[in-house]
Every structure is written in structure tokens, then in C-alpha cells.
Amino acid sequence: MELSNIFAMLGGLALFLYGMTMMSNGLEVAAGNKMKSILEKLTSNRFLGVGVGALITAIIQSSSATTVMTVGFVNSGLMNLESAVWVIMGANIGTTITGQLVAIDISAWAPVIAFVGVALIAFFKSAKLDAYGGIIAGLGILFMGMDMMSSAMVPLRTMPEFVSLITKFENPFIGIAVGALFTAVIQSSSASVGILQALARSGVMTLPSAIYVLFGQNIGTCITSVIASIGTNRNAKRTTIIHLMFNIIGTILFVAISFLFPFASLMESLTPSNVTAQIANTHTVFNIVTTLLLLPIGHQLVKLTYLILPEKEDSEDEMKLKYLDFHIFTNDYHVGTSAIANTQLFNETQNMLKMTIHNVQKSFELVKNYKESQFDKLMKKEEYINYLNKKIVEFTTLVISNELPLENNQTIGLFLKVSADLERIGDHAVNIAQRAKTLHENKSHFSEEAVDEISIMSSLCTNILNELKIENYNEFHEIVDKVDIIEESIDKTNHQFSVNQLKRLKDKKCSTENSVVFTKILTDFERIGDHGLNIAVSFSRLKKILATMKMSHV
């Protein structure tokens, strides 16, 4: 094989991969904003889930992107594990579209197609047309690269060493290993199948020598989801395990079929004169049949992942994020990132809220009955609250810097405000706890009447914060009205209790020092109410923005 052929093959490979990337990116830009609304229609219905997974993958031309998005959605709580099973099965079917596309020989028209796409980008100043131009140009460049690769590989047919190497692929273990390794390296089953088709088109490979490589490619594509699951929660990791199980089970099944029946001969007979179509059809049959066989036992696959990766006990003292996943900004696939980010921020701020409620309740208990061990626990929890606030600030900064649509940035800003208000509530709980500590160290205490009044203020503040504990966005309904009523009650009660305290001070029923501490505690609780109302207002604004976003998808 001459040096010019090697250069031509590398150039063709470069064009093929670039064309595929260009087409995928264009499709992602054109359809990406609609992905969330498609997924919102996803139910636990397995057939609908498979359909959605196949549709999304066919649209964005990348099962890796769909799988990475699914891992992120499961990690954020936007999708449950069982729904993810159906989406992954569908993604495996959807990814075969690229192979079928490549099997259509339109090489002669490829330069014209590429020109049309570039013309849309160069001559029209429109973001929408740029996306469509990228799709069309990418398709043309892909076929040009395919044609270059195929032509450059023709001399390989007469090389005894290469022919000998290819025949070794008919060994299932070698073929599967080569296919898995190559796909893992380039992280795209669509691209690796396309390269296999180019080899076949040049006459270097036949279906019997390519079939086990093809099976291995389905396993190798899982590497992308494995990488995406690093640092995620256990359910997201289980999603990756399901993806691996699907392809490994399918490979074992089809290797067995190939031994028992003339499977390769059957696929060859469907399109005798078109080996690229034979590879595309085999890839499609592999994924459809595997899906049909595993579809009835999807729930059992989920249970199996819990055996492989059981739950683990988390240490209370360990400070870590429960929902935020910074890895969503490090992968190459950004479809659905805004939906993931919003859901993760919602869940993490709710997690922060629960810790804040705990500290508000414990601060009153310290006023009533001070214990050093309880004070230390409260301070540790405060460190955790501050840690979450810091991480939420870092996360929101990353989200905004990723240039998401304006309405998404508005929701991110509101979650940032919620986090800041929660952090201030935590500070007021610490203030109350420290005032309780001061009373204890001075061997002083409040009267029963004063403790009862502080108890009422504590209960009112806890009621506000409990109103803010919600499971999903749908519960934002009338939240401001409910919280506003309680906050007004806190203001009136604070005023009345301040008057009562002045009477006690005048009647010499308490010391001046204790009176000052009591007033400061009332002020802390009153400020907690104010911040609670701020959070409710932020939630109400979130509801309006989200409603607008949903209307824009209709």
C-alpha cells in the first residue's frame, strides 16, 4: 500500500468523522431545545420510552449523547431508573439510523450536498439556517470522507498480511475485542460502524469477517456513559450498568445464534450485492431483537443493578453534594443540560432547606435546654449549609457561563437567590444558638412566659419553612399567599412579645441583659420569616418562568 493511499485513507477518515460531528452538532442545535419537552411526555410506559429513546437518538444522530443525557437526568432526579431502561433500549435502535444512512450510496452527490449546506451557513445570517446548514454540510462531508476511505483501502485487498489479519476477526473473541476497543477509543458506535462499512465497501471485508467486530462495537459504545457516570449518584451508575448489560447480553445472544444458525448468510441474502447494507441491517437487527427480548424483563434488569451496586450508608459528618453534578458541563453533549441543571438545583436547595429547618428547630431547643453536644451538632450542620451555598454558587456560575437560553438563566438566578436566603436563615439559627450559649455560660435563663413566647415564634418560623418543602414545581401554587399570611403573623406576634417583654422588664421580672438577649432572639426569628417569604416569592417567579417555557414548546 503506497504512502498516498495511507494519506488518502487518513484524510477520508478525518472528513468522515468531522462530517458526522458537524451533522450531529447541527441536529443537536436544531432540536436540542425541544428535547426536554419530549422527555417530559415520557411515562413509565415501556413502549413509549423506547420510542422516545429511538426518536431522540435518530434526531441527534448519537446514542452516546442520548445515553449521557439519560445518565444526567437520572442523576438529577428528572427521570427514574425504570424509565431510563426504556430510553436506553430505544437509543440502541435509534443509533442504527446512521449505518442505514451510510449504506445509501450517494457519493456522486456528496460534494453538491456539502456545497448546499455551506451556502446556507455562508450566505444567510440566521442561527436556525446555520444549524440546518451544518446538518446538510455534515452529511455531504461524511459521504465524501466515506468515498475517500473506501477508494484508499482498495489496495488492502491484495495485501496477504492484511487479508490474514482480517480473517482472524472471524474468531468471535478477537472480533468482539477489536470492535469494543476501537469503539471505546473513538467513543462513537455510529462512527466505528461507518468505518467498518468503508472497509467492506472497498472489498477488504465481508460480512462474516465483520460480524463479530460489529457485535463488539455495541459494547465499546458504553464507554461514553461509563465516563459520564463518574462522580454521579448510584442510580446514575446503575443506568450505565443497564446500558452495559443490554449490549453484553445482546452480544452473547447473537454469538450463540451465529454458531447455531447461518445468521451471516441470512443477512447477506437480504442485500446480496451491497455489503455496506448488510452491515447496517445486521446492526439494526441486533438492536431491535435484543430490545424485543429484554423489553419484558426491564424491571428485572433494574433489580439486578441493585444487586450489582447496592445502596450504601452515608456518613452524617461527610459534607458532599446530594444532587448537583458538575460533570454535566465536562462532556461533549449538552442536550437537556438546562433541564438537568434546573432539576438538580431544585433538589439541592430542597436538601439545603431541610438542613436549615433542622437548625432552626434545634436553636429553640438550645434556648429551652442548652446542651454543648447539641450546640456542636448545630454548628457542624451550619458548616454543611455554608458548603452547599458555596457549591450552588459555583454550579450556577458554570450554568450561566454555558450560554443557556435567557429564560433558563433567569431560573438559575432565582435558585441562587433561594440558596442565599437559606444561608441567611442558617446564620440566624446560629445567632439564636449562640445567644442560648451565652445565657448558659452566664448561668442565666428566661422565665417560662418568655420561653413560651419564643416557642410560638419558633413554631411560626418552622411553619413557613415547612410550606417551602415541596416535591416538584407543581406545588408552587399559591405558596406566596400561604407564607405571606404566616409572615404577617410573625410580625404582629414579634411586636406583641416585645411589648410583653418591656412590661416584664418594667415589673422587674427579668434582667436588662436577658431582655436584650430576648429581643435579639425575637429579631432573629422575625428575620427568618422575612427570608422565608423571599424564598416563596422566588418560587412563585420560577413557576411563572417555567409556565412560559412550557408554552414556548407547545
Are 211 and 282 spatial neighbours (Cβ–Cβ below 8 Å)? yes
Are 529 and 461 spatial neighbours (Cβ–Cβ below 8 Å)? yes
- Choose among 553, 369, 545, 389: nearest CA to 448: 369
Q: What is the pTM of this model?
A: 0.63
C-alpha distance from residue 140 to each of 20, 77, 121, 129, 358 (Å): 10, 39, 14, 16, 60
Beta strands in 139-283 (DSSP E): none
How large is the C-alpha radius of gyration of the chain? 31
Are 463 and 486 spatial neighbours (Cβ–Cβ below 8 Å)? yes
Ordered structural domains, the chain, with CATH: 3-308 (no CATH), 336-553 (1.20.58.220)
Q: What is the pLDDT of residue 207?
A: 86
Q: What is the pLDDT of residue 114?
A: 85
Going by the DSSP 8-state scheme, the letter that residue 475 receives in this structure is G
Q: Give residue-wise pLDDT tens across range 46-84.
A: 788 888 888 877 766 667 777 777 776 777 666 778 888
Contacts for 30 with CB less than 8 Å, ≥ 6 apart: 128, 131, 132, 135
The span from the CA of 112 to the CA of 482, in Å, is 64
All three cell numbers of 507, joined, read 415589673
Taking only the tens of pLDDT, the chain with its 554 residues reads: 567 777 887 887 788 777 767 776 665 566 554 555 555 555 557 788 888 888 877 766 667 777 777 776 777 666 778 888 888 898 889 888 877 877 776 667 778 888 888 888 888 777 677 878 887 888 788 778 767 776 776 676 666 766 676 677 788 889 899 888 888 877 677 778 888 888 888 777 888 888 898 998 888 888 877 876 776 778 878 888 998 999 999 999 999 998 888 888 999 898 888 888 899 899 999 999 999 999 888 889 889 998 988 876 555 556 788 888 776 666 555 555 667 778 888 889 999 999 999 999 999 999 999 999 999 999 999 999 999 999 999 888 887 776 555 555 678 888 899 999 999 999 999 999 999 999 999 888 888 899 999 999 999 999 999 989 887 666 666 788 888 899 999 999 999 998 998 988 888 888 888 889 999 999 999 999 999 999 998 888 887 776 665 434 33
All three cell numbers of 156, joined, read 488492502
- Choose among 79, 55, 50, 84: nearest CA to 67: 84
Are 460 and 485 spatial neighbours (Cβ–Cβ below 8 Å)? no
Q: What is the pLDDT of residue 49?
A: 83
The span from the CA of 213 to the CA of 199, in Å, is 12
Percent helix / strand / coil, the chain, rounded to 5: 85, 0, 15
Q: What is the pLDDT of residue 551?
A: 39
Q: Give residue-wise pLDDT tens across range 228-250.
A: 677 677 887 888 899 899 999 99
Are 208 and 195 spatial neighbours (Cβ–Cβ below 8 Å)? no
All three cell numbers of 350, joined, read 430542597
